[in-house]
């Protein structure tokens, strides 16, 4: 009788263990699929395109928008100068846009010509024309002179 009872317990535990690990695998597979779907949505790919066979090359994902933009890093001595950015093109200058105080980094700029103006009370006005290039960082380092 003990032997039959022990067999039943072992069988019960085996079935329970199989059910638990099977559910865990299903849960893991579902989580992995959700992650794959989220990654595909972020990179503008469909989930089915992520599972392409090796025989056909995967479609290249579109370039991120940030790589077509440029950046300007602005520093001054002394720091704390107000930064104004003016977009300039063949049609003329745009409206000055306040970009904070130095040191600052201005990101997401369309390639083109800009004027960087720095002003700080008690110091002479500083102005520099720069060209922002795609995916590049343009540096402006200014030493402000006392008035």
Residue 17: Cβ-neighbour burial (10 angstroms; 0-12, 13-18, 19+): exposed
Rounded distance between C-alpha atoms, residue 140 and residue 39, angstroms: 37
pLDDT tens digits, one per residue of 20-45 = 445 444 444 444 455 555 444 444 44
Question: Two tokens at 137?
Answer: 């960082």
Spatial neighbors of 35 by CB under 8 A, at least 6 apart, are none
Task: Give the residue extent of every domain in the chain.
Answer: 2-50, 66-143
Say which CATH architecture domain 66-143 belongs to.
Sandwich (2.60)
pLDDT tens digits, one per residue of 86-145 = 999 877 788 999 999 999 999 999 999 999 999 999 999 999 999 999 999 999 999 999
Rounded distance between C-alpha atoms, residue 13 and residue 32, angstroms: 28
Tell me the three state secondary structure of residue 97.
strand
């Amino acid at each position: 009788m003990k032997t039959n009872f022990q067999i039943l317990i072992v069988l019960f535990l085996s079935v329970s263990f199989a059910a638990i690990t099977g559910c865990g695998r299903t849960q893991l597979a579902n989580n992995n699929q959700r992650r794959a779907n989220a990654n595909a949505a972020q990179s503008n790919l469909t989930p089915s395109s992520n599972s392409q066979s090796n025989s056909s090359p995967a479609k290249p994902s579109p370039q991120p928008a940030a790589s077509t933009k440029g950046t300007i890093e602005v520093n001054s001595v002394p720091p704390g100068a107000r930064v104004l950015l003016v977009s300039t093109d063949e049609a003329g200058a745009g409206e000055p846009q306040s970009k904070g105080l130095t040191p600052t980094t201005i990101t997401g700029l369309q390639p083109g010509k800009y004027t960087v103006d720095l002003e700080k009370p008690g110091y002479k006005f500083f102005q520099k024309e720069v060209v922002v290039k795609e995916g590049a960082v343009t540096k402006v380092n200014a030493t402000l002179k006392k008035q």
